[in-house]
Amino acid sequence: MSSHHVTFGDDPFPQAEAGPSTSSYPSAGPSIHPDRLALNATLLETKKPKNKSEAQKNREKKKLKKRRKLEQAKKAAAPKTNKREWKPDPVLEALKRSTGVESIDSTESVKDERKKKKKEKQQEAEEDEADETSDGDEQLDGESEKEKRRREKREKREKRERKEKRRLEREARDNAAALEDGETHVGQEETDGDVQMEQDNLPEQQQVEYDDEGGSADEDDDARQSSPEPLEAFPLPRSAPAPAPEVLARQGLPTGLEDAEFIDQSLRLALDELQAPVKTASGEVKEMKGLSERMKEKLRETGVEDLFAVQAAILPQLLSLRLNPFPYDKLHDYLISAPTGSGKTLAYAIPIIEILQTRITTRLRALIVLPTRDLVVQVRETLEVLAKGTGLNIGSVTGQHSFTQEQSQLVADMETPLLGGSSKLDILIATPGRLMDHLASTPNFTLQHLRFLIIDEADRLLNQSFQNWLSQVLSYINPPDPPRPLPEGFNLQPWDKVASAWMEGMGLVSREEEWNESVPVTCQKFLFSATLTRDPSKVASLSLTSPKYYIVQSSQLPSIPYNIGETFSFPSTLSEKMLILPSALKPLNLIHLIYSTEFGINSGLIFTKSVESSQRLLNLLTFFNDAYINAGRKVVVSGYTGEMKAGERRRVLSDFGEGKINLLVCSDLIARGMDLPTVSNVISYDVPLDMRKYVHRVGRTARAGREGTAWTLVEKQEALHFKGMMNTAGHLKAIRKVKVKEDDLADYRESYEIAMRRLKEHYGRDA
Ligand SMILES: Nc1ncnc2c1ncn2[C@@H]1O[C@H](COP(=O)(O)OP(=O)(O)OP(=O)(O)O)[C@@H](O)[C@H]1O
């Protein structure tokens, strides 16, 4: 008969298969606990055959064979003194200790288990017998009946094997847990309840299977007691769920910049209503501080009655700042994104002047960095108007004047080494390149007393390297930093408030008694732009302290707190239009915009892609103006490019402001920051290459709450790129498409052809 049957003498604890511990005893065979061997012996003795039929005799023979095999196994498994010492099963021992029972054999659970196993085997033997007796019948009933029984038997066997496998797996798991517990909870009683709890902890599916199989907690418990030490089970490797894109984008961003505070662009605050709370060390509001009467007067003189949104939002926080902050004062750095022409200059100029005017000695306390000379001139003019009567000294370095001229403006003494420098200025406005030159080569010029660092048009400046200007400036503000190279023989110790430990470390001077002196950083940084970035890689270089982030925009627009990239703010008074046209018709369409009664653009800026293109277009428009006899009015056009001398540019701007010039054809030089109140139209003759350029170009109109229109001439082949760019910025819907019929251009054709001929003559045959 089948040799798969489990009969008497089979080891009910098949350790060799189940326990990984066998691998540690390869030559001596599996380690069998003596309690188990005793149990096997008992099982063998109690099994006796009842009948002596032929079949039974055969079975007895088989059993005898197996018994012999088992005895051989016992011998092999018995502890061998010359090889390895028998070690008690740690789980069994822990259980013995916890229950106080010396022999596990004597526990009820083990006895029950044995009885159960015995019963199972008896049943199996009886089944076998029945199979054998029915063999003859099977032949009569045909092959199918026999096969059915065999299949049933096979299934039963497989089920048993599955059950056994699961039991062994559970055993291994539980043993691992029991081993750990055995160390710490030896004294705890392991009751049926505990076992049930363990079962409860199994995954649901496993629990169901366990119940279905009819296994008991006791059986499980016994198996656990006698099982060998298992290998530690490691969880299978699993890939972690991918973080959300917005979470990734915020990686490395200072906490304060994670969420922006949105300010409605239409917010206004009367000058008299501005109140800034002055707080005590405990945070209580001591008093409210408003604008000084002198400042209000100056503002009214320049036409400012109310504060614009950006000013109303941040002035209440800045006005109460102290010139020399107390140690408990919480100082923040600020990132402010506000539309073009929304009054960002006054947002920093007012508090700087209000705070610095209380100073006693002149020291360089405010540094304003701007990307172009023209902007430096413009901001200096604004500051000078507001600071009139305060005694504050304002200067600028741009490279427009000679280096020595600028040096004499910056420092009073360049001969004597002075620890605290010798600044002649309270406020300095500079372009980054020239600032670097003075930091490197102007004796007694120092940034150690800076209270405010303003970076206007910050996105542009952060993208400019200029001898690594930003990190250089920061290192001159915040010691420790490497001492700068000084002119030969000039033995200057440039710091008068740096940490003495650092001073000594640099071999500058020994001031041991001041070693414990801490140097609080009191310089606050302010970054302004209409296209400000929160890109962590850029922001990181600023070493911001408790930064705050404000976005001024129309309340109609959705707040996008997760937008980590650039924010583009537009004035609410701006209307935007685009003409999509064949490139050959671009000049005629521009002429139509200028000369037609429908559009009649008589004041504005025309942007081209380069200085060269500006000059070409300027010539064409000049020649056309000369040739166009139906105009009824003449249009005065002039150029404004970086190639022009500073004086010439100033004169052009002044004429434009006075209305002597109607149109300025310019390169992107003027696109940023320039405040020309008379600009009612901006025409992008060549499409801007990126969104940032577009924002700054169109921002030359619709400033300070005035109405303005921006036009973009888009060649057909550029339309996809331009529209895509606008769409990405969520701005496409704001731009209205305008169509000009070819018939409308007919009126200009003759004069245009004359102008083109003259242009060709001007540039030679290939023009
Ligand atoms: N509260 C105010 N009331 C009236 N006019 C104001 C006020 N604040 C600023 N202005 C005027 O608004 C104009 C634009 O201001 P400013 O040049 O500071 O704008 P901006 O935000 O710096 O623009 P850009 O981003 O283009 O540099 C200036 O002419 C300024 O005098």
What would the mean pLDDT of 89-104 be, rounded to a whole number? Answer: 56
What would the mean pLDDT of 425-452 be, rounded to a whole number? Answer: 91
Residues 546 and 640 in one domain: no
Q: Would you say residue 58 lies in a domain?
A: no
For residue range 494-508, list pLDDT tens digits in order: 445 544 455 555 555
| Cβ of residue 340 lying under 6 Å from some atom of ligand 1 | yes
Ligand 1 atom, smallest distance to 303 CA:
4
Question: Given this model, what pLDDT does residue 295 score?
Answer: 95
Question: Given this model, what pLDDT does residue 415 score?
Answer: 80
Q: Would you say residue 604 lies in a domain?
A: yes
DSSP character string of 578-619: EEEE-GGGHHHHHHHHHH-TTT---SEEEE-SSHHHHHHHHH
| Cβ of residue 271 lying under 6 Å from some atom of ligand 1 | no
Tokens describing residue 709: 């229109």
Residues 482/475, Cβ–Cβ less than 8 Å: yes
What would the mean pLDDT of 250-270 be, rounded to a whole number? Answer: 79
Question: Given this model, what pLDDT does residue 234 score?
Answer: 76
| Cβ of residue 329 lying under 6 Å from some atom of ligand 1 | no
720: domain CATH number? 3.40.50.300
Residues 474 and 371 in one domain: yes
Q: 3-class SS at 662?
A: coil
Residues 712 and 600 in one domain: yes
| Cβ of residue 254 lying under 6 Å from some atom of ligand 1 | no
Q: Greatest CA separation found in the chain?
A: 136
Ligand 1: centre distance to CA 675 (Å) = 7
Element (H, E) at 550: strand 548-553
Tokens describing residue 484: 């700068």
Q: Would you say residue 679 lies in a domain?
A: yes
Question: Would residue 468 be called left, alpha or beta, if left means φ above 0 and alpha means ψ between -120 and 50 degrees?
Answer: left
Q: Would you say residue 609 lies in a domain?
A: yes
Question: Given this model, what pLDDT does residue 670 score?
Answer: 76
Higher pLDDT: 241 or 27? It is 241
Minimum mean pLDDT range among 109-123, 515-529, 628-642:
109-123
Residue in 266, 267, 302, 304 to alter for ligand 1 test, most ligand atoms within 8 A of Cβ? 304
Nearest protein CA to atom 9 of ligand 1, as residue: 343
Residues 530 and 611 in one domain: no
Residue in 306, 344, 352, 529 to alter for ligand 1 test, most ligand atoms within 8 A of Cβ? 344
Residues 676 and 613 in one domain: yes
Residues 370/435, Cβ–Cβ less than 8 Å: no
pLDDT score of 106 more than 60: no
Element (H, E) at 209: helix 204-212
Nearest protein CA to atom 22 of ligand 1, as residue: 344
Ligand 1 atom, smallest distance to 345 CA:
18
pLDDT score of 618 more than 90: yes
Residues 432 and 525 in one domain: yes
Residue in 532, 572, 675, 693 to alter for ligand 1 test, most ligand atoms within 8 A of Cβ? 675
Residues 537 and 671 in one domain: no
Question: If we measure between CA atoms, which residue out of 355, 328, 399, 367 comes closest to residue 474?
Answer: 367
Nearest protein CA to atom 8 of ligand 1, as residue: 343
pLDDT score of 311 more than 90: yes
Residues 597 and 693 in one domain: yes
pLDDT score of 342 more than 70: yes
| Cβ of residue 344 lying under 6 Å from some atom of ligand 1 | yes
- Whether the upstream peptide bond of residue 480 has omega within 30° of 0, thus cis, is yes
Report how far residue 739's alpha carbon sits from residue 760's, in angstroms, rounded to the nearest whole number. Answer: 29
Long-range (24+ apart) CB contacts under 8 A made by 285-288 are: none
Higher pLDDT: 736 or 542? It is 736
ipTM, 2 dp: 0.99
Question: Given this model, what pLDDT does residue 585 score?
Answer: 92
Higher pLDDT: 596 or 669? It is 596
pLDDT score of 344 more than 60: yes
Residues 593 and 723 in one domain: yes
Amino acid at 2: S
pLDDT score of 657 more than 60: yes
Tokens describing residue 2: 């089948």
**Model confidence at 127, in pLDDT bands (50, 70, 90)?**
low
**Model confidence at 67, in pLDDT bands (50, 70, 90)?**
confident
Tokens describing residue 108: 């009820």
Q: Give the count of alpha carbons within 13 A of 1, CB side only.
A: 27
| Cβ of residue 530 lying under 6 Å from some atom of ligand 1 | yes
Residues 211/186, Cβ–Cβ less than 8 Å: no
Residues 584 and 544 in one domain: no
Q: 3-class SS at 52?
A: coil
Nearest protein CA to atom 2 of ligand 1, as residue: 304
Question: Given this model, what pLDDT does residue 114 score?
Answer: 64
Report how far residue 752's alpha carbon sits from residue 634's, in angstroms, rounded to the nearest whole number. Answer: 15
For residue range 691-743, list pLDDT tens digits in order: 989 999 999 999 998 999 999 999 999 999 999 999 888 889 899 999 988 88
Ligand 1: centre distance to CA 674 (Å) = 10
Residues 525 and 607 in one domain: no
Residue in 337, 461, 703 to alter for ligand 1 test, most ligand atoms within 8 A of Cβ? 703
pLDDT score of 751 more than 80: yes
Element (H, E) at 737: strand 735-737
Residues 665/618, Cβ–Cβ less than 8 Å: yes
Ligand 1: centre distance to CA 273 (Å) = 20
Residues 6 or more apart in contact with residue 143 via CB below 8 angstroms: none
Residues 362 and 327 in one domain: yes
Report how far residue 564's alpha carbon sits from residue 100's, in angstroms, rounded to the nearest whole number. Answer: 66
pLDDT score of 626 more than 60: yes
Q: Would you say residue 624 lies in a domain?
A: yes
Q: Would you say residue 41 lies in a domain?
A: no
Report how far residue 578's alpha carbon sits from residue 555's, in angstroms, rounded to the nearest whole number. Answer: 25
pTM for the whole structure: 0.65
Residues 6 or more apart in contact with residue 333 via CB below 8 angstroms: 524, 525, 526, 527, 542, 544, 545, 546, 547, 548
Amino acid at 31: S
pLDDT score of 251 more than 50: yes
pLDDT score of 125 more than 70: no
**Residue the block writes with tokens 């305008």:** 738
Classify the C-alpha dihedral 126-128-129-133 as positive or negative. positive
**Model confidence at 455, in pLDDT bands (50, 70, 90)?**
very high
| Cβ of residue 303 lying under 6 Å from some atom of ligand 1 | yes
Q: Would you say residue 269 lies in a domain?
A: yes
Report how far residue 372's alpha carbon sits from residue 399's, in angstroms, rounded to the nearest whole number. Answer: 10
Amino acid at 544: L
Q: Give the structural domain span for 625.
A: 574-765
DSSP label at residue 411? B
**pLDDT, averaged across the chain:** 76
Domain count, the chain: 2
Question: Given this model, what pLDDT does residue 531 score?
Answer: 81
